[in-house]
Amino acid sequence: MTASPAAPATTRPTSRAGHRALWVLQVLVGVFFVVASAAPKFLGDPYAVAIFTDIGAGQWFRYVVGAIELAGGVGLMVPRLAGPAAVGLMGLMIGAGYTQAVVLDAPEMLVSPVILFVLAAVVAWGRRASIAAWIPGRDR
């Protein structure tokens, strides 16, 4: 019995429909992060200002989080960056969930970060080849 060779690092979703569905998901999540999440932080939406006031880290943190969301949302729409952007957004959602549950003491607000984490995880899994390309020393 011979071992089958490992799949190349450039594998794509198993079907053309899967590839298209993944792109639709990436664009929808990316647009959400740019328009519905980052933009209110940059524009000083009263709710965003109030949340970051309650967090207690200062309004500079609102701009940092907004910049990360903007970069992640745009990154989801760039083929080479989609996988790493999804992983970064997963990390951001872990931080958001922790902040909402522990710092703000509002565990009922965990729904959004959990859903966005799962959607980003689906993208990260589907674009895992682009993540592997960013690992130093990895054969390309």
SS3 letters for 66-135?
HHHHHHHHHHCCCCCCHHHHHHHHHHHHHHHHHHHHHHCCCHHHHHHHHHHHHHHHHHHHHCHHHHHCCC
Q: Are 42 and 66 in contact (CB under 8 A)?
A: yes
Q: Is the pLDDT of residue 61 over 70?
A: yes
Q: Which has the higher per-residue pLDDT, 112 or 139? A: 112
Q: Are 93 and 120 in contact (CB under 8 A)?
A: yes
Predicted pLDDT at 139: 60
**DSSP run (H or E) holding 20:** helix 16-31
Domain boundaries, the chain: 18-132
What does the pLDDT look like over 77-128, one tens digit per residue? 999 999 999 999 999 999 999 999 999 999 999 999 999 999 999 999 999 9
Predicted pLDDT at 130: 86
Q: Which residues contact 136 (CB under 8 A, 6 or more apart)?
A: none
Q: Which has the higher per-residue pLDDT, 54 or 130? A: 54
Predicted pLDDT at 134: 82
Predicted pLDDT at 8: 47
Q: Is the pLDDT of residue 137 over 90?
A: no
Name the band, by pLDDT with cuts 50, 70 and 90, for residue 133: confident
Name the band, by pLDDT with cuts 50, 70 and 90, for residue 138: low
Q: Which of 33, 48, 41, 80 is nearest to 63 (CA)?
A: 41
